[in-house]
Amino acid sequence: MDLIIQGIWQAIVLLCTFDPETWSITLLSLEVSGAATVASLFIGMSAGICLALADFRGKNLVVSLINTGMGLPPVVVGLFVTIFLWRNGPLGFLGMLYTPGAIILAQAVIATPIVAGITVAAIQNLPRNLRLQILALGATRFQMIFLLMREARLPLLAAVMAGFGGVISEVGASIMVGGNIKGYTRVLTTATVMETSKGNFDIAIALGIILLVLTFAVNYILTHIQQHDRPR
Amino acid sequence: MNTEQKLLEANNIDIRRGGARVLDVPQFGLRQQEIVCLVGPNGSGKSTLLLTLCCLLERHAGELYFKGCKVVDRSSVLAFRRSTATVFQEPLLFDTTVYDNVASGLKIRGLPGREIGLRVEQNLERFHIGHLARRAARKLSGGEAQRTSLARAFATRPEILFLDEPFSALDPPTRESLIDDLDHIFKETGIAVVMSSHDQAEALRLADTMAVMQQGRVVQMGPPADVMNFPADEFVASFVGMGTVLKGRVVQARQGTVSVSIADQLIECVGDGAVGQPVILCIRPENVTLALPVHHDGTSARNRFTGTVTRLIPMGHFFKVNLDCGFFLSTHITFQSRETLGLAEGMQVAVSFKATAVHMIVHS
């Protein structure tokens, strides 16, 4: 019990004294996972909307594949991204392995199917004739997509939260492709793993609490946006 | 030949689904200020035709002309859609306020704010939903939601309004008041309308032209009274509520009347036909009179039979009576008449109807 109380105390100290290392780790986590989420939104939402609006043979197969992708194990993603970025791998010439860029890439791969899967479900869940109604109102295709997204804003923002939540808390891929290099690729999760293995439970608990507070703060903001401007 | 330019004209419309032809309409036209109602049972293709006419369904063949200009490429389709409006069975409102819903078509067109405000106010009043302007659309009742959807359509000042079964999801009193209001608004605005409905009563109330559809084809098109009283074939006859539809053959023809043999009985009707020709006779239930057998003689009706009541079906304000006169015959009778006659199943009655009450369709 002492251990936990000590850990919480240590966390407060680390945060209140603006410990430079803790802050740089926190900021890097936010930047990397934020960038990965933004990338996954562009790719995942575009793919999800296209898929939801398109009608083609084999659509169910593609949707099932994306839904399976929503549960991609981060270590498997880490493994394949490592292989691709390995010095003599297909993307080895980029020299990206063990850089923050590599973590962004791996995390984007993890988040994209989550965003795409929820987007497909969100758009398909709208009334079928709504698309026709929007076109009948004189909308261009672009306006139609915008209006559909606005109608599905609740589940779409849930997709953002799920994508961000998935990558900020992920450790396997970050450690494999980032290498947990101090001051360079060390993020909250990889630091927590390292401190725990070293027996520095107080620091590990502090990092864990920061991670939780960060995730809560981001989700709180997104939820606020989500519930905003709904008429009562 | 009619040289008047049609507001909307469709030629050789052909829609296929899974290889099967679901719509085959060689010609369809809509005049300025005309209200056309497409009626037919479920699956007859009325919604498919309506959605094709408003350019929301891809067609495999056929041309569409709006005010004489062909609607063909992306820009002409967009221009056409912006000159028309469509309201579906479900109100399909956006998850925002009633006001913003009514404004949505105008925002899509990029109209200035002042103009939007003016038109929205006007149409909220027109559909009596001004007091709901700030209400969330998802909290409206069915009738209010459909009024919002209609106000949204009218706000864009369409030249043609397409209505796809707009009253089907509403309860009877709500439907009545909305139909009443629409009737006024149609007359006031002089808008051209194409609507679909499975209820011919709606067509009778609102339409100038009724088009009966069956299996993807328009089988009869004309003023509602004509379609109701002079159906073109057996299907239309039964769809528009001709209680009795009988197949027979002409056995005698003289001076504008013919005698038709049906199950060894002769029915006289007005019309021309050659002896031996197969025909279909339609008799509206309200034109058939029942009496006790002893009163048979005091009537000018040319057709008099003795029949047995096979079924008495209560229909709310009246009874539907099915009779066996050697052939099937159906009629309506009030509660009072039923009591006066002491009518019961299995009872014998005198049945009569005039020769002019029989509509004869010559079999092609």
In this prediction, residue B300 carries a pLDDT of 72
State residue B295's pLDDT score. 56
The answer to whether B175 touches B206, Cβ cutoff 8 Å, is no
pLDDT at position B1: 43
Q: Is the pLDDT of residue A11 over 80?
A: no
CA distance B75 to A216: 47
The 10s digit of each residue's pLDDT in A177-199 is: 999 999 999 999 999 999 999 98
Q: Which residues of chain B have pLDDT under 50?
A: 1
Please name the helix (run of DSSP H) or strand (run of DSSP E) that holds residue A85, with its range, or none: helix A74-85
Strand partners, B357: none
Evaluated on CA atoms B68, B72, B75, B77, the torsion sign reads positive
Q: Is the pLDDT of residue A3 over 90?
A: no
* Residue given tokens 């913003």 in the structure block: B100
Average pLDDT, chain A: 92
Sign of CA dihedral A23, A24, A26, A31: positive
Q: Which residues of A touch B88 (CB under 8 A)?
A: 129, 132-133
Q: Residue A141 has what pLDDT?
A: 94
- B97: which chain A residues are within 8 Å (Cβ-Cβ)? 231
At B292 the pLDDT is: 86
Q: pLDDT value at position A230? A: 67
Any chain A CB within 8 A of the CB of B107?
no
Distance of CA B233 to the CA centre of its chain: 16
Taking the mean position of all CA atoms in its chain, how far away is CA B177?
18
Contacts of B143 (CB under 8 A, 6+ apart): B170, B171, B174, B177, B178
Q: How far is A230 from chain B (nearest CA, A)?
A: 6
* Dist. CA B292–CA B347, nearest whole Å: 10
A143 contact B CB<8A = yes
Which amino acid belongs to residue B217? R
Residues 6+ positions from A210 with CB-CB distance below 8 Å: A11, A14, A15, A22, A26, A188
Distance CA(B111)–CA(A176), nearest Å, equals 55
Predicted complex ipTM:
0.86
Contact list, B154 vs chain A (CB under 8 Å):
none
pTM: 0.87
Whether the Cβ atoms of residue A97 and residue A82 lie closer than 8 Å to each other = yes
Chain A residue with minimal CA distance to B86?
A136
Q: What is the pLDDT of residue A206?
A: 86
Lowest mean pLDDT segment, chosen from A47-51, A99-103, B336-340: B336-340
| Under 8 Å between Cβ of B299 and B286 | no
The torsion defined by the Cα of A62, A65, A70 and A73, in degrees rounded to 10, comes to -150
The tokens describing B105, both together, are: 């078509």
Amino acid B202: pLDDT: 87
Distance from CA of A120 to the nearest CA of B (A): 19
Lookup: tokens for B252? 């005698």
Across the strands, what pairs with B24? B14
For residue A231, the model assigns a pLDDT of 64
User: Distance from A131 to chain B by nearest Cα, in Å?
Assistant: 9
pLDDT at B364: 61
Q: What pLDDT, on a 0 to 100 scale, did the predictor assign at position B31?
A: 95
